[in-house]
Structures are given as structure tokens and as C-alpha cells.
Amino acid sequence: MLTMSHSGIYKINIDIKEEKETFAVFQDLGITPNQAIKMFFAQVRKTHSIPFLSEFTPNKTTISAIEDAKIKKNIVLCKDTNDLFDKLGI
């Protein structure tokens, strides 16, 4: 959860294990968590995107549902958002 305020102070809830592992990486890199977040925000502004690849690996249930939908012909697969918008006529 991310709580935003008008003062530029943000509260982010993360698992304690994730926090320790992530902060250890920041320390190895010689940066603070605050600097890392500022770097992330700067890249978002610069690229107008999330500055890393976000890949989805479907589990067995998802794969099964996709295969079932293909057989029933009630699914349209899109290679990217542009393809999706084209197929939707947007």
C-alpha cells in the first residue's frame, strides 16, 4: 500500500524480509533507500514508464484457462497494448 500526502512524504508497507534484502542491496550499491526511490521517480518521469521489465509467468491454472478459452474460441490474444487497442477499435 502506498499512502500519498501533499508534503512529499510517502508510507509504503512491505514485508520485513523484503525490506531487509532490498536495503542490503542499496547498502551494497552505496545508496540510501530514499536515494533509490528518488532515482526510480526520476526514471519514471524521464521515460514515462516503469523503468524495468515486468514479466508475467503464468501458473498452471492460468495456462489451463488460456488453453480452454482457445478451444472454446472465446479469447483474443494480443501481443501488446497497441494490438489490444487495435482489436478493440480504440
40/72 same-domain check? no
Number of domains in the chain: 2
Judgement on whether residues 43 and 7 belong to the same structural domain of the protein = yes
The whole-number average pLDDT for the span 17-29 is 96
Q: For residue 8, name the pLDDT band (cuts at 50, 70, 90).
A: confident
Q: Which residue has the higher pLDDT, 90 or 45?
A: 45
Domain that holds residue 29: 2-47
Same domain, 62 and 43: no
What angle, 0 to 180 degrees and rounded to 10, lies between the N-to-C axes of helices 16-29 and 33-47? 80
Same domain, 10 and 34: yes
Helix (H) or strand (E) holding 86: helix 81-88
Return the higher-pLDDT residue of 20 and 73: 20
* Same domain (yes/no): 37, 69: no
Residue at grid coordinates 524480509 = 17
Same domain flag for 62 and 87: yes
